[in-house]
Amino acid sequence: MAGYRVLIAVGNRLEFVTTYLGVLRAQAVAVPVNPRATPGELARMIADSGARMVVVDPDTVGPVRDAVALVAHAIAGEYRLDPDLLSRAVVPRVVVIDEDPAEGERSFEELRSAPLRTSLPLRDPERLAALLYTSGTSGRPRAAMLSHRALLANIDQVARVEPPMMHGDDVVLGVLPLFHVYGLNAVLGGVLRHRAKLVLVDRFDPQGTLDLIEDQACSVVPVAPTVFAHWRSIDQLTERLGPVRLMLSGSAPLSPELLAAFVERTGIPIHQGYGLTEAAPVVTSTLCSEQVQPGSVGAALPGIGIRLVDESGRTPAGEDPGEIEISGANLFSGYWPDGSGGPGPDGWWATGDVGFIDGSGDLFLVDRLKDLIIVSGFNVYPVEVEEVIREVEGVTEAAVIGVEDATTGEAVVAWVRAPGADAEAVRAAVLAHCEERLARFKRPGRVEVVDELPITATGKVQKGRLRNIERRRTPRLLE
């Protein structure tokens, strides 16, 4: 049974950490969300989670107030939300950080100064600890249900890696967003486990973050792959990364060429991993490999099982690829609210990713079974973007795909069917509507307006043909 849900719409600041730990200590359920989400996205997550409290900072208080108003209008029948979401929706209390609360709201300071109550022992490790929104392997974004058991198990699995990712005397850069499972459990969880020092950074800035690494003598730097692209051309990079002993890359693939060039220039070891929100999140690391190999995401962490399954349900021969299935105490309990889509009775869960395992036990990612797009380490599911685009007048169909991008890993491109319409007007309308309705990383970087889209005999858009068109476009310059 899920406890009281607290939605956290706060950037990388100390109050996020204290709120998250306070919610877990109270054995309520933390719901961290992207602080840059739009009011419409926030309203959907507030309603879906049934959150009764939302904690906000000065950057998010406006969008959250708008979102809470939308939820109230939906409950009153004046705004449309999916009936399933509406069945769980309540109008939550807003708690504001560093701002004067409006009528009906409370200040964070008021909560912080409340008398401390003795916490109850955690009697059931399976108790729900956090809901983390992800695209899963299909459908619209939905929340993975992570128990105390799952979160603690992955922290322990990472801590058992040799050589260790963190020591107690390390200073760890906290630039990864805390609402993302990588920053939340792999970084914050690891820092708490080892009692290391965490330097929180609200936003990545190529020069400013390097200044902070120098000033704070950061020794462990966990980042998304896009950071290496931003840093690769900076002068005196090696000197500015002087305190760093280890860099960790995750949340999206890192190009082997970029990795090799960065290591050659700086001499700093970069270790990659593979993970998913549903695995809390780390599954493999090159720190577990016999030797680091180009293109590999490493071997499984202690306590995690990996197997491959082909289309017939059998183990592929040799190094043939197959769908990646994983097992371990770190796995989630299914998707909110009913626990559907979780591990099977045998404890294995199909990731939707395709890879192969070489003779040394290293995993190599090949493809994804679904259409998920990863932008700067964040998941973008095309269905969500397509639904927003179809709301634009004149648009009869939309197909969203991901294309390679040197800075963000992938970028979002929308192909829009608008027969006989003014292409420039439709393009401008789509971009404007997406800016209003979608978080920045989900918005199309380019919109192609056409009279017809390639379709199958059953009327389904052939996204493979659109991807082939994009591959032939070199260079791909997003507007």
Q: pTM of the entire structure?
A: 0.83
Is there a domain that residue 134 lies in?
no
- CATH code assigned at 55: 3.40.50.980
**Three-state DSSP class for residue 441:** helix
Is there a domain that residue 126 lies in?
no
Is there a domain that residue 450 lies in?
yes
Domain's final residue, options 320, 352, 367: 367
The reply to whether 171 and 22 lie within a common domain is no
The C-alpha atoms of residue 372 and residue 137 are separated, in whole angstroms, by: 8
Task: Give how far Cα 224 sits from Cα of 121, 204, 205, 227, 254, Å.
Answer: 36, 10, 13, 6, 8
Domain's final residue, options 87, 121, 155: 121
The C-alpha atoms of residue 222 and residue 148 are separated, in whole angstroms, by: 23
**pLDDT tens-digit profile, the chain (479 residues):** 468 999 999 999 999 999 999 999 999 999 999 999 999 999 999 999 999 999 999 999 999 999 999 999 999 999 999 999 999 999 999 999 999 999 999 999 998 887 877 777 888 999 999 999 985 444 567 999 999 999 999 999 999 999 999 999 999 999 999 999 999 999 999 999 999 999 999 999 999 999 999 999 999 999 988 899 889 889 999 999 999 999 999 877 787 888 888 999 999 999 999 999 999 999 999 999 999 998 899 999 999 999 999 878 899 988 888 899 999 999 999 999 999 999 999 999 999 888 899 999 999 987 666 677 889 888 787 888 998 998 999 998 899 999 988 888 899 999 999 988 999 999 999 999 999 999 999 999 999 999 989 875 545 688 878 987 887 774 433 33
The reply to whether 38 and 78 lie within a common domain is yes
Range of the domain at 461: 373-471
Domain's final residue, options 367, 400, 427: 367
Contact criterion met (CB below 8 Å) for 197 and 170: yes
The reply to whether 410 and 466 lie within a common domain is yes
The reply to whether 357 and 303 lie within a common domain is yes
Is there a domain that residue 133 lies in?
no
Q: Which residues contact 320 (CB under 8 A, 6 or more apart)?
A: 310, 356
- CATH code assigned at 387: 3.30.300.30
Domain count, the chain: 3
The reply to whether 165 and 93 lie within a common domain is no
The reply to whether 446 and 355 lie within a common domain is no
Radius of gyration over alpha carbons of the chain, in Å?
22
